[in-house]
Structure 1
């Protein structure tokens, strides 16, 4: 885990997941066609946007997988929940 200062002086937590990525099996699927997606939006009554800036911190983890994402700091070993 590395703390990086952004240009606006806020902090960004960065984790190195290279070892996890080596053992994870990714399932690839094609992206939906943009024309079809726009057709669906055109029929909608309401349209909203989501701020996914910190979306990766909001993905739930299975309890058995938390140990795979441990990270060490000067203050000890931590796990995501």
Structure 2
């Protein structure tokens, strides 16, 4: 836990806090044996006004992909950390651990509005490409096309947008 807190401080993702809010940290074992740093935001989520920004429907996705023959996927690394928290809400993201009280400056994992906030950000970054060149679902971007030359152009368009937005991609995909 100490290593995660230090890393988040060094990356400018969190800062020390004096917040009246405080959610506990949970260390959860991942399927691969590693440990995941999680914050139990159940109490905060219970009083949060929900963001109803829509996710794309599976039917709409399948309709758009119907004629495509080539597909590439890109996965945004630490996607939620690309969403800044409004200064008025930063204190509410506070978490407590044996090393102190800290608050997030970017969207933390486990917050109920993380998914719609990230979906909105992705749609903003890809505003004129979505549904025409690519689809976005959570932190995944699927680029689709009918032929290889147009596919290369579309991949380049998406990569350019991600670079301009400061996004980093996971190399696994």
Distance 2:82 2:27 in 1: 19
> Between Structure 1 and Structure 2, which shows a larger proportion of strand residues?
2
Q: Which residues in structure 2 correspond to 1:25-64 (within 5 Å)?
A: 25-28=49-52, 32-42=56-66, 47-51=71-75, 54-64=78-88
Contact 1:41–1:47 (Cα < 8 Å) also in 2: no
Post-superposition offset of 1:77: 0.8
Alignment: residue pair count: 81
> Between Structure 1 and Structure 2, which shows a larger proportion of helix residues?
2
Contact 1:4–1:11 (Cα < 8 Å) also in 2: yes
TM-score after normalising by structure 2? 0.37
Uncovered stretches (5+) of structure 1, i.e. residues with no partner: none
| 1:42-73 deviations in Å (ceiling 9; x for gaps) | 45686432436854444331122111010111
Distance 2:53 2:102 in 1: 33
Aligned pair 1:22/2:71, yes or no? no
Uncovered stretches (5+) of structure 2, i.e. residues with no partner: 1-24, 106-173
Post-superposition offset of 1:32: 4.6
TM-score after normalising by structure 1? 0.67
Higher relative contact order (CA 8 A, sep 6+): 2
Post-superposition offset of 1:41: 2.4
Where 1:79 maps in the other structure, the secondary structure is strand
CA-atom RMSD in angstroms: 3.0
